[in-house]
Amino acid sequence: MPKFLQTSLCAFLALSAPLLAQKTDSLGLIKKALEANLVPMPTGKDLDKYLIQKVKELDLKYQGAVMTKGQIELGKKLYLDPRISTSYLISCNTCHNLGLAGVDLVSRAVGEGWRPNTHFLNSPTVYNSVFNAVQFWDGRAAHLDEQAKGPISNPVEMNANPKIVEAKINSIPGYVKAFKRAYGNNVKIDLNLITSTIAMFEATLVTPSRYDDFLRGNAKALSRQEQEGLKLFLDKGCTGCHNGINLGGMMQPFQVAAPYKFANVGDFKGDKDGMVKVPTLRNVLETMPYFHNGQYWDIKDAIKEMGAIQLGITINDEEAKKIATFFNALTGKKPTIIYPDLPVMSASTPKPQGIMEGDKKPTKQPTH
């Protein structure tokens, strides 16, 4: 072999060996992640089937096709329409703002009449909520339509009488036409159908990311630094709670190893068994503040606190920084949302009712 070819071959081997080693390490990390029950988000037809199956589990009396374009567009209008609330000021989007990663960026949710959540609870993101096993911090709802019903009648959220909500929608000609187009001329527009339609739109709010590509075998989808953070995330045992498609969304015990530093902020203690819904980590770098009462604004501080109270370990500053670097890969591509023209109300549409400062305080204790 000519000397120049030998030199070129040696140079090639010297350069390729580290790349091959890195790819081998990446494939091993993917295998380890999958074994820890980290699951990539379904795509294409698999995602369509998943979402349709989820919608079929709703409290939906309608027996026709679901997740049609007309139903989803109608659900979007209802999601964004503040007239559902008593004051005409609060929509689903108020607390779950689609332009702010599906949250409101405040520690304590605020609703009708500027009333703060009585339990000092933070608004979870609506994005990817279809992948949650349960909804609300105490997991009391199994599906998105149940979740949508809660805020409507909640006195410190929309504060609306469900019957008046039904009367409003049925009095707006544009909504009546849209429901007939979506469900047929004999459709009965009631609260169940309204919230199921909202849920169909919410089910489309999914954000696939480079992380999903990595789990499906694309070793280059994550940088070396992100892979290092993922490895640390696995080694520390974070997947004990943050696993599945949503890296969360199921119920788990809280304060397992030590008390939460801000447990006295608000009175929320979880469900009757002290279990709390694990928040999704998808888009987590955009959904601050963290924890059920929104007491941490820096993700690295939240990571260290979770290590202490859930795993009984110390996660130092450098380790928290590396895990946070991995979280960059969880920021996904959001669907394009075009704000619609909402249908014009009629003379018979129930008018807004203001809430004055001296009004009677709500007695019902809501949980977000």
- In CATH, the number for domain 45-204 is 1.10.760.10
Report d(CA 133, CA 139) in Å as an integer. 8
Residue 2 pLDDT exceeds 90: no
Q: What is the pLDDT of residues 298-331, one digit of tens each?
A: 999 999 999 999 999 999 999 999 999 999 999 9
Tokens found for residue 55? 């919608």
Higher-scoring residue by pLDDT: 226, 57 = 226
157 is catalytic: yes
Q: Give me the residue spans of the domains in the chain.
A: 28-42+208-329, 45-204
Report d(CA 149, CA 196) in Å as an integer. 9
Q: What is the pLDDT of residues 19-31, one digit of tens each?
A: 556 676 999 999 9
**pLDDT value at position 315?**
98
Evaluate whether 126 touches 98 at the Cβ level (below 8 Å).
yes
Residue 366 pLDDT exceeds 90: no
Provide the 3-class DSSP secondary structure of residue 141. Answer: strand
Report d(CA 187, CA 313) in Å as an integer. 56
Report d(CA 86, CA 219) in Å as an integer. 51
- Residues placed in the known binding site: 92, 95-96, 238, 241-242, 306
**pLDDT value at position 61?**
83
Residue 45 belongs to what H/E stretch?
Answer: helix 44-56
Tokens found for residue 294? 């929104």
Residue 1 pLDDT exceeds 70: no
| Residues facing residue 275 across a β-bridge | 253
Q: What is the pLDDT of residues 233-249, one digit of tens each?
A: 999 999 999 999 999 99
Which residue in the list 157, 226, 305, 319 is annotated as catalytic?
157
User: What is the DSSP code (8-state) at residue 21?
Assistant: H
- Taking CA 334 as the corner, what is the angle to CA 333 and CA 335, rounded to the nearest 5 degrees? 125
- Residues placed in the known binding site for heme c: 92, 95-96, 238, 241-242, 306
Report d(CA 140, CA 44) in Å as an integer. 31
What rounded mean pLDDT belongs to the chain? 92
Give me the percent of the chain exceeding a pLDDT of 70: 90
Report d(CA 306, CA 194) in Å as an integer. 38
At residue 168 the predicted structure's pLDDT band, cuts being 50, 70 and 90, is very high
- In CATH, the number for domain 28-42+208-329 is 1.10.760.10
Instruction: Give the residue from 194, 177, 245, 165 showing the smallest Cα distance to 59.
Output: 194
Q: Compute the average pLDDT of residues 152-159.
A: 92
Report d(CA 206, CA 333) in Å as an integer. 8
Instruction: Give the residue from 267, 255, 232, 248 showing the smallest Cα distance to 305.
Output: 255
**pLDDT value at position 358?**
44
Give CA separation, 282 vs 148, 212, 279, 285, 314, in Å.
Answer: 21, 11, 9, 8, 24
Report d(CA 84, CA 92) in Å as an integer. 9
**pLDDT value at position 344?**
98
Show the DSSP H helices in 133-215 as ranges. 144-153, 162-171, 173-183, 191-203, 210-215
Q: What is the pLDDT of residues 249-284, one digit of tens each?
A: 999 999 999 999 999 999 999 999 999 999 999 999
Residue 9 pLDDT exceeds 70: no
| Residues facing residue 110 across a β-bridge | 116
275: phi then psi, degrees, rounded to nearest 5: -90, 145
At residue 8 the predicted structure's pLDDT band, cuts being 50, 70 and 90, is low
Q: Compute the average pLDDT of residues 142-165.
A: 93
